[in-house]
Amino acid sequence: MYSLYWVLFIGIAVISWIVSARMQSKFKKYSQIPMPNGMTGRDVAEKMLRENGITDVRVISVAGQLTDHYNPVNKTVNLSEPVYASNSIAAAAVAAHECGHAVQHATAYGPLKMRSALVPVVSFSSNIVQWVLLGGMLMLKAFPQLLLIGIVLFAVTTLFSFITLPVEINASRRALAWLKTAGITNYQTDGMAKDALRSAAYTYVVAALGSLATLLYYIMIFLGGRRN
């Protein structure tokens, strides 16, 4: 049983590496293809927010690469420097995707509300879960409840990973639909934007599956300890 798990775990790790490398390759490729209208990531983001009637969200630049995100707390669309100032296909797709989250927030999209509600719990769990799991495995015979607590904490992070999937996929769908209807992308560039966002979505799928596989591993250890 454990050998089967390690085959699964290694398989997911390899797939994760392939998906991550493929995503970076796609973004590098589409970052070199300029938008026909010359709009930067900032321009695209501000236009999408404006056309969706969102006036209380700011678009700002943040350091790093692939650090783009929407912050519902201070209502900011944070675009990495290569996206913020670039007029590439990749920049337009990423900017629209992050604005898709802002639209979700403005329309009270259910899965986003669930994910936001879990953030404090996940933040707390992430800080202690590895130590609880380690202690639980070391003290499995004497105090099996500790490992069970660690499993529950880890299960919360796994649940968070799976709730993230519909949030990210929906944001991409909103982005692609708006890019097309607003005339930002055309028949030549629409497929490129879709390809870029699809590659990013795969990373979330693999991360969720990896988290689930790890959770099952800890459950197997707990059940094995109980039987012995």
Q: Answer yes or no: are the C-beta atoms of 114 and 156 closer than 8 Å.
A: no
Q: How far apart are CA 26 and CA 148, in angstroms?
A: 41
CA gyration radius, the chain: 20
Can you tell me the distance from the alpha carbon of 211 to that of 219, in angstroms, rounded to the nearest whole number? 12
Is 168 annotated in the active site?
no
Tokens found for residue 111: 């899965």
- pLDDT one digit per residue (tens) for the chain, 228 residues: 556 667 777 887 888 888 888 888 888 899 999 998 889 999 999 999 999 999 999 999 999 888 999 999 999 999 999 899 999 999 999 999 999 999 999 999 999 999 999 999 999 999 999 999 999 999 988 898 999 999 999 999 999 999 999 999 999 999 999 999 999 998 889 999 999 999 889 989 989 988 998 898 889 888 876 665
pTM of the shown model: 0.87
Instruction: Exactly one of 51, 81, 98, 168 is catalytic; name it.
Output: 98
